[in-house]
Amino acid sequence: MTTLDTAFVRDQFPPLADGWVFVENAGGTYVPRQVIDRTHEYMSQTQVQPNWNFASSKLATERIARGKHLMAEFINADHDEIVLGPSTTLHVFLMAQSLRPQFQPGDEIIVTEQDHEANVGAWRRLEEFGLVIREWPVDRTTGALQYDALDTLLSPRTRLVAFTHCSNVASIVHDVPALVRKIHAAGALAFVDGTAFAPHFPVDVKALDCDFYVFSLYKVCGPHQSVLYGKRDLLKKAHGLNHHFIPDDNVAYKFLPGGPNHELAAGCVGIADYFDALHAHHRLEPANSFHARLRRVYQLVMAHEARLAGKLEAFLKAKPGVRIVGRKPSGDGRLAPVIAFHVPGRSSAEIVARLNAERIAIGHGDFWAARLVKALGLTAEEGVVRIGLAHYNDERDVERLIAALDKALP
Ligand SMILES: Cc1ncc(COP(=O)(O)O)c(C=O)c1O
C-alpha cells in the first residue's frame, strides 16, 4: 500500500471512537492498544523489582530492557546512549546539572527565544553559577529563528547551544546537521529538543550528529515518558546525580535519582508493536531493524499529514483576518502538521470554546513557548489557537474541523 490506511490506524486507538475530533496531538497523542496491552501485561504479571534471579523479576528485567532498546532504535541510537525518564523537562534539567561541573564562570550558553521552556529555563538557571546566557532571537513577525544571529552569538566562550528541531508553535523545522556543524566549529555542544519533530519525521541521531537529543514519547503514541540521547563519551563524562554508589559508567541510572518507571518503560515495547503492525498491514518493504521499518512507516505518515495540513492551511489562509504563526518550510520543504493561528481583535479562548462546543478537542495559549508568543506580541492567556494533527487524523476529521472553524471564524 502506498497511502496510509487511516481506518486501520484509527482502529488501534480505542479513545478515537468517542465522537470527538482530536487535534491537540501536539500536546500529547492517544496511545494505541499495543501500548495499553504491554503496560497491562507488565503490571499484571511482573510488577516486582527487576534484577533478581526469580522468574517474575527476570521477566520484568527483560521487558524493561526491551522497551529501552526499542526506544533507542526509534532514533537510531544504541541502548547505552539513551536514558528513559519521566519527561523532557526533567531530562534537560538533570543534564544541565550534570554538565555544570564542566563549565566555568564566564562560559556561555545559547538558548533560543523560540523553544518550549523545557529547553530554556534549565539552562538559564546556570546563571546562578556564573554562566552567561545568550538568547538567540526570533523574527518578530514570523517567529522564525534569525539564523544570522547565531554567527554573532557564538564566541570562544560558548560551551553549549540548546535549540529545538521544530518549534511546537511556529512549526518551523530547523536544519539540525547544518546548525550542529556551525556549533561544533565554534567548539560548543549541540543540545536538541526533538519533541515537536519526532511525531512527524523519522529521527536519526547519528545523521544529525548532535551531542544530545531529547523527546517525549507521549507525543509519539507512547506512555508519559521521555528519551534522552547523548553521545556515549559525553554521557560517561557527565557528572552523575544519583546515589554515591552508582558508578559513572552506569548511564541508565546515574542521571535518574529514583530510577526509571518500570511499567512505562515496558509499555514502550507497545510503541514498536504498533508501528510494526502498521509496517505489516501496509505490506511495506521488509527490514531487519525496527528503525528501518519505522522509517518506511513514516514515509506514509509524512505524506498523509502533509495532505491534511495543506487542506487546513489553504482554508485558514483564505479566511480574512486569520494570522497563521510561522510555518516557513525548511530548506527541504518540510512542514510539521501543526498550525497555530490567531485573529487580531478576537479572543483565542472564545474561538476555542466555540470549537469545543462542536466536539473539536483543541486548545489555546502559549503552549509553554512563552518567550516566542510574547515576541510575537501576544499574551500568554490568549496566545494562539493550535491545531496539532497526528497521523490518525483522517479526511473526515479535517472536514469537521473546517466546518467548525467556518462557523467560529469571521
Ligand atoms: C517542543 C517541546 N519540548 C518540550 C516539551 C516538554 O515535554 P515534557 O512534558 O516531556 O517535559 C514539550 C511539551 O509540550 C514540547 O512541545
Q: What is the DSSP letter of 194?
A: -
Ligand 1 centroid to residue 55 C-alpha, Å: 37
User: Are 75 and 162 found together in one domain?
Assistant: yes
User: Are 260 and 323 found together in one domain?
Assistant: no
3-class secondary-structure state, position 251: helix
Ligand 1 centroid to residue 216 C-alpha, Å: 6
What's this model's pTM, rounded to 2 decimal places? 0.98
| Residue-level pLDDT at 129 | 97
User: Are 243 and 324 found together in one domain?
Assistant: no
User: Are 163 and 90 found together in one domain?
Assistant: yes
Sign of the Cα torsion 190, 85, 302, 407 reads negative
Determine whether the shortest distance from the Cβ of 117 to ligand 1 is under 6 A: no
Ligand 1 centroid to residue 27 C-alpha, Å: 8
Question: Which of 255, 271, 287 lies at the terminal end of a domain, its last residue?
Answer: 271
How far is residue 214's CA from residue 223's CA, in Å, rounded to a whole number? 15
Residue with cell 515537536: 196
| Residue-level pLDDT at 333 | 80
- Give a yes or no: residue 219 inside a domain: yes
User: Are 23 and 91 found together in one domain?
Assistant: no
Rg, C-alpha atoms of the chain: 21
| Residue-level pLDDT at 380 | 76
For ligand 1, atom 9, name the residue with the nearest CA.
Answer: 87
User: Are 382 and 308 found together in one domain?
Assistant: yes
Ligand 1 centroid to residue 119 C-alpha, Å: 9
Determine whether the shortest distance from the Cβ of 393 to ligand 1 is under 6 A: no
User: Are 328 and 199 found together in one domain?
Assistant: no
- For the stretch 306-344, pLDDT in tens is 999 999 999 999 999 999 999 987 777 889 999 999 999
**CATH number for the domain including 15?**
3.90.1150.10
| Residue-level pLDDT at 65 | 97
- Structural domains in the chain (count): 2
Determine whether the shortest distance from the Cβ of 168 to ligand 1 is under 6 A: yes
How far is residue 48's CA from residue 24's CA, in Å, rounded to a whole number? 35
User: Are 21 and 85 found together in one domain?
Assistant: no
In 3D space, the residue among 315, 309, 344 whose CA is nearest the CA of residue 403 turns out to be 315
| Residue-level pLDDT at 79 | 93
- Give a yes or no: residue 337 inside a domain: yes
| Residue-level pLDDT at 382 | 87
- Looking at the CA of residue 89, tell me the nearest atom of ligand 1: 11
- Give a yes or no: residue 342 inside a domain: yes
> What is the residue-level pLDDT of the chain in tens, covering all 410 positions?
899 999 999 999 999 999 999 999 999 999 999 999 999 999 999 999 999 999 999 999 999 999 999 999 999 999 999 999 999 999 999 999 999 999 999 999 999 999 999 999 999 999 999 999 999 999 999 999 999 999 999 999 999 999 999 999 999 999 999 999 999 999 999 999 999 999 999 999 999 999 999 999 999 999 999 999 999 999 999 999 999 999 988 998 999 999 999 999 999 999 999 999 999 999 999 999 999 999 999 999 999 999 999 999 999 999 999 999 999 877 778 899 999 999 999 999 999 999 999 999 999 999 999 999 999 999 877 899 999 999 999 999 999 999 999 999 97
User: Are 251 and 327 found together in one domain?
Assistant: no
**CATH number for the domain including 183?**
3.40.640.10
Ligand 1 centroid to residue 45 C-alpha, Å: 32
- Give a yes or no: residue 292 inside a domain: no
| Residue-level pLDDT at 379 | 86
- Give a yes or no: residue 284 inside a domain: no
Burial string for 356-374 (b: 16+ CB within 10 Å, else e) reads eebebebbbbbbbbbbbbe
- For the stretch 385-400, pLDDT in tens is 999 999 999 999 999 9
Question: Which of 234, 250, 271 lies at the terminal end of a domain, its last residue?
Answer: 271
User: Are 313 and 389 found together in one domain?
Assistant: yes
Question: Which of 232, 250, 271 lies at the terminal end of a domain, its last residue?
Answer: 271
Determine whether the shortest distance from the Cβ of 29 to ligand 1 is under 6 A: no
Residue with cell 487542506: 311
- Give a yes or no: residue 75 inside a domain: yes
- Give a yes or no: residue 373 inside a domain: yes
User: Are 137 and 179 found together in one domain?
Assistant: yes
- Give a yes or no: residue 276 inside a domain: no
| Residue-level pLDDT at 252 | 86
3-class secondary-structure state, position 338: strand
Boundaries of domain holding 401: 6-31+300-408
| Residue-level pLDDT at 330 | 74
User: Are 13 and 67 found together in one domain?
Assistant: no
Q: Is-contact 237 206, C-beta < 8 A?
A: no
- Looking at the CA of residue 218, tell me the nearest atom of ligand 1: 10
